[in-house]
Chains A and B, each alone.
Chain A
Amino acid sequence: AQSVTQLDSQVPVFEEAPVELRCNYSSSVSVYLFWYVQYPNQGLQLLLKYLSGSTLVESINGFEAEFNKSQTSFHLRKPSVHISDTAEYFCAVSERSSASKIIFGSGTRLSIRP
C-alpha cells in the first residue's frame, strides 16, 4: 500500500517570495507522482506529474517538482509566487502497475500575502 505525507497543512508566504511545499511518500513498488491544485469550490486540476525520465518536472505556470527516490520525496517549488497561486495543493501517488487508483495527501493550503 502507498501513503502520502504532506507535513505542512498551511504555508503563508508573501507575494513574489519563493515557496516549497513538501511531500513524502511511501511505497513498496514503483510509483507515479502527482501534484494537484484545488481552487475554492472547484475540483482538482493536475499541476504536474512524474511518470518516468527526468526527475525534474515543470508546470506551465512556473511550478516545478523533483522526484527524489532516495528520500522518497516529491517537493513542489516556485521561485516567485503570485496572489493567484492561493489554493489547496495535493500531492498524490499511484502504483505503476495499477495507475488508476490515486492516493492523496492531506493537502497544503498556500496563502499568498500582498
Chain B
Amino acid sequence: GAVVSQHPSWVICKSGTSVKIECRSLDFQATTMFWYRQFPKQSLMLMATSNEGSKATYEQGVEKDKFLINHASLTLSTLTVTSAHPEDSSFYICSATGRSNQPQHFGDGTRLSIL
C-alpha cells in the first residue's frame, strides 16, 4: 500500500530555534499534502493544505508566518516551525493523497518538544 514517511519522528530543541519536518510520499505522487497538529489526548486539527507548486491554504487561526509550508515536488512537503516556543510543542502529522477523491495516507508523526 501507499507509504508516507515523516522525518524526524522526535525532535527536542531550545526555544527560539526553527525546526523543519519533512513529509515524503514514497511510492506515489502526492498532489496534495495535509499537515495536522494533535495535542495530548485530543483529535487531529488540520493546520493547512498544500498542493504541489502552489501556496498552502491555512486553516483559520493558524499563523502562516509561524508554520511555513513548502510543497516543491510531488513527493515532498516540509513544515517549518519558526522561532519555536514551548507552546508549539505537539505531535505533528502529515498526510498525502494522489487525487482529490483518493483516501489520505498518513505519516507516523513527529513529536516536537520545545524546551
Residues in A lying within 8 Å of B, measured CB to CB: 34, 36, 41-46, 49, 90, 98-107, 109
Contacts and interface: CB of A to CB of B under 8 A. Distances in A.
Given A42-B108, A102-B104, A90 B44 contact: yes
B111 A106 contact: no
A46 to B, nearest CB: 6
17 contacts: A34-B103, A42-B108, A42-B109, A43-B108, A44-B106, A90-B44, A99-B100, A99-B102, A100-B32, A100-B34, A100-B97, A100-B100, A101-B34, A101-B46, A103-B46, A104-B43, A107-B41
Of the listed residues B34, B93, B103, B105, the one surrounded by the most CB atoms of chain A closer than 10 A to its CB is B103
Interface residues of B, number: 24
Contacts of A103: 46
A98 to B, nearest CB: 7
B78 interface: no
B7 to A, nearest CB: 12
Interface in B47-88: 49
Nearest to A45: B106
Interface in B1-54: 4, 6, 32, 34, 41-44, 46, 49
A42 B106 CA distance: 10
Contact of A107 (B43, B46, B97): B43
Contacts of B6: 43
